[in-house]
Amino acid sequence: MKVPALLKNKYVFYALCALAVLNVAGYAMVQAWECLALFGLSAYSAHCYSGNKCVAILAALFVANFVFGCGRVKEGIDETLKGPEDHTADAAHSASEAVEGLVDQGADPEEAEGMVNQQIEAFTADKASCCKKDAQDKYTGDWVDGLSNADKGTCDAWGTAADKCKNE
């Protein structure tokens, strides 16, 4: 296979090697062993096909990052899009898992459920704890901007964030 002269340049090869090392280090850091294996296999197969190491590295980077999606970044938007019902379901699921875990450790099922319920009742989420979100909007209540109208009504019933946070 005939390749352009740019891909035969040793400095281009060094730059691609540095990029490949960074990718391999990234795969190893997040323990994405399947991505590491795919990168190595695609580099080897492309080198066997073309005979050019630059083409092999470029092909391996393309296959691993774009085709297989190893360069994916998880933004965490899924948690943000959840509604109150979803969060409640998650909490109920976590509570049932906690009860199961206590029963597996030898606790009486009713006693385990009582312990979990006691912990749930002890937890209260109120506006004062929300004021601790960060120092920049501690007293302004800017965190309320993303709430629905129904949730804002609930927050208004608690009072302003500044009233709750002044004593802290």
Instruction: Break the chain into its structural domains and give their ranges.
Output: 5-67, 84-121, 124-168
For 91-107, write each residue's pLDDT tens digit.
Answer: 888 888 988 988 999 88
Q: What distance lies between CA 139 and its chain's CA centroid? A: 29
pTM, two decimal places: 0.45
Cα separation, 162 vs 156, whole angstroms: 12
With tokens 């312990």, the residue in question is 115
Region at 160 (left for phi over 0; alpha for psi -120 to 50; beta for the rest):
beta
Region at 159 (left for phi over 0; alpha for psi -120 to 50; beta for the rest):
left
pLDDT at 127: 54
Angle 53-62/33-50 helices, nearest 10 degrees?
A: 140
pLDDT-based confidence at residue 58 (cuts at 50, 70, 90): very high
